[in-house]
Amino acid sequence: MDQKGLRPIAIFEALKGVLALLVGLGMHEMSNDSIQQGAEYLVSHLHLNPASHYPSIFISSVGKLDSSNIEVKFSENNAGYVAVFDDVKSA
């Protein structure tokens, strides 16, 4: 397989992982109320109706987050990236 073609894909995936890490850490620093307020602000900033189906699902899902949920999701995502990276590295 052409290693030159895999490098841009690997860089892109690494940047996505770093972005996910930064978002996860930022969400961890926020309290539950400010996460939900941020979601409500995002929905209104995008000129979406908060009472419609998908924005209301998004806001209610974010409202259910707390720091322990975020830590579990963060750990699961990191484990997935490590597994993929080890698999690509060994190939």
Does any domain span residue 16? no
Does any domain span residue 35? yes
Segments forming the whole domain that contains residue 71:
24-90
Does any domain span residue 9? no
Q: Roughly what angle, to the nearest 10 degrees, separates helices 67-90 and 3-29?
A: 170
User: Cα angle at 81 between 68 and 19, to 5 degrees?
Assistant: 70
> 16-35: per-residue pLDDT in tens?
888 887 877 776 676 556 77
pTM to 2 decimals? 0.48
> 31-90: per-residue pLDDT in tens?
556 778 888 888 998 899 999 999 999 888 888 876 666 666 666 666 666 666 555 555
Does any domain span residue 34? yes
Give the integer Cα–Cα distance in Å for 68 and 28.
9
Does any domain span residue 11? no
Q: Taking residues 7-19, what's their average pLDDT? A: 86
Does any domain span residue 50? yes
